[in-house]
Amino acid sequence: MEIKKIGVIGIGSMGNGIAQVAAEAGFDVIVQDINDEIIAAGMKNIQRMIRIAIRFKRILPEEKDNVLARIKTTTSLDDFSDVDLVIEAAPEIVELKKSIFEKLDSVCPDETIFATNTSSLSVVEIGTSTNRQDRFLGLHFFNPPTETQLVEVIRTLLTSDESFDAAFETVKSFKKTPIEAKDTPGFIVNRLMVLFLNEGARMAEEGLASPQDIDKAWKLATGMPKGPCEMIDMIGVDVATHVGDSLYNEFRERLFHCPPILHQMRRAGLLGKKSGKGFYNYSK
Ligand SMILES: NC(=O)c1ccc[n+]([C@@H]2O[C@H](COP(=O)([O-])OP(=O)(O)OC[C@H]3O[C@@H](n4cnc5c(N)ncnc54)[C@H](O)[C@@H]3O)[C@@H](O)[C@H]2O)c1
């Protein structure tokens, strides 16, 4: 099936990047979030990221207005009645995601494909709130979606070949690289990543070295752009603990278990970049 119009749920860290990527690729996009202030902040972020894209010559300056014009916003899911694909990037709470898709199931045409950007929840379980498990799958983008190349395309036991292929091809038209993965916790990348992030946080908790030195040592040794503590701050402590917990719950592997420091930070609201403070202070 041909995808022309894409609906994005949530204009937070991931949703605004996904909307931008789709608009840059020429799709009409509508983004929904819960209130006008959040939408205004998300659109401001998209404008900032477009300026960066122009600086890095990914977008021509004359394309800027066209990309922005392709992105419409709304606070109502009722405006999703003509979308061909929904990509949901709401908070990582299974009941919330299920209720959003339940509503969308009654609003969207039967052919519309539903995708969740969940990092750690069961895709098929979220899909149980709909009557279209054959058109339900995962599209797992990485942070920030505008700069990262990979999208994991998650096929559940119930996803049809037709909808999987349509989603896979759409990712290619975003100029991203799709990789097929099964509906297991962490998919491919986060299953590996959790071990790295947990161990970095554990070392900081033990006082083996400061978060700054742990990150610096890793970057100097490997040439990688970020160390584990910086990565946790970028991903969000809430998201990182969710992923670790769900992997631990499924596999009961001790190394997936998040160190207490991460849960303490989450409860204290020290979520990283998005809250202004995590291992690092972003208030300036
Ligand atoms: N942050 C990452 O690095 C990352 C990477 C890959 C996948 N993910 C996944 O993407 C999803 C979103 O994560 P995020 O980091 O963008 O979160 P976020 O908190 O930055 O953004 C979530 C957005 O959803 C909005 N929202 C809340 N309730 C809503 C509702 N009922 N309807 C519509 N919008 C609602 C919020 O206002 C917010 O703007 C999660 O499932 C997360 O696991 C995150």
CATH number assigned to the domain comprising residue 30: 3.40.50.720
| 210, 150 contact by CB (below 8 A) | no
How many angstroms is it from 31 CA to the middle of ligand 1? 12
pLDDT digits (tens, 9 = 90+) for 148-198: 999 999 999 999 999 999 999 999 999 999 999 999 999 999 999 999 999
Residue 58 has pLDDT above 90, yes or no: no
Could you tell me if 223 and 270 lie in one domain? yes
Pocket test for ligand 1, best of 32, 49, 117 (most atoms within 8 A of CB): 117
Question: Which long-range contacts (C-beta less than 8 Å, at least 24 apart) are formed by 264-269?
Answer: 265/237, 266/237, 266/238, 266/241
Could you tell me if 148 and 232 lie in one domain? no
Of 157, 182, 207, the residue that ends a domain is 182
CATH number at residue 219: 1.10.1040.10
Residue 268 has pLDDT above 80, yes or no: yes
- The closest-lying atom of ligand 1 relative to the alpha carbon of residue 118 is 41
pLDDT digits (tens, 9 = 90+) for 5-43: 999 999 999 999 999 999 999 999 999 999 999 999 999
| 83, 108 contact by CB (below 8 A) | yes
Domain extent at residue 268: 191-275
Residue 223 has pLDDT above 80, yes or no: yes
Q: Which amino acid is at 163?
A: S
Strand ranges in 45-172 using DSSP code E only, listed in sequence order: 71-74, 85-88, 113-116, 136-141, 150-155
Catalytic residue list contains 119: yes
Could you tell me if 36 and 154 lie in one domain? yes
Catalytic residue list contains 95: no
Strand ranges in the chain using DSSP code E only, listed in sequence order: 5-9, 28-32, 71-74, 85-88, 113-116, 136-141, 150-155, 177-182
Q: What percent of the chain is modeled with pLDDT above 70?
A: 100
283 falls within a domain? no
282 falls within a domain? no
Residue 216 has pLDDT above 90, yes or no: yes
How many angstroms is it from 9 CA to the middle of ligand 1? 8
Q: How far, in Å, CA of 29 to CA of 86, rounded?
A: 10
Q: What's the confidence (pLDDT) of residue 152?
A: 98
How many angstroms is it from 79 CA to the middle of ligand 1? 19
Could you tell me if 45 and 155 lie in one domain? yes
Residue 120 has pLDDT above 90, yes or no: no
Structure tokens, 154? 């998650």
Q: What's the confidence (pLDDT) of residue 1?
A: 77
Catalytic residue list contains 76: no
What's the chain's average pLDDT?
Answer: 96
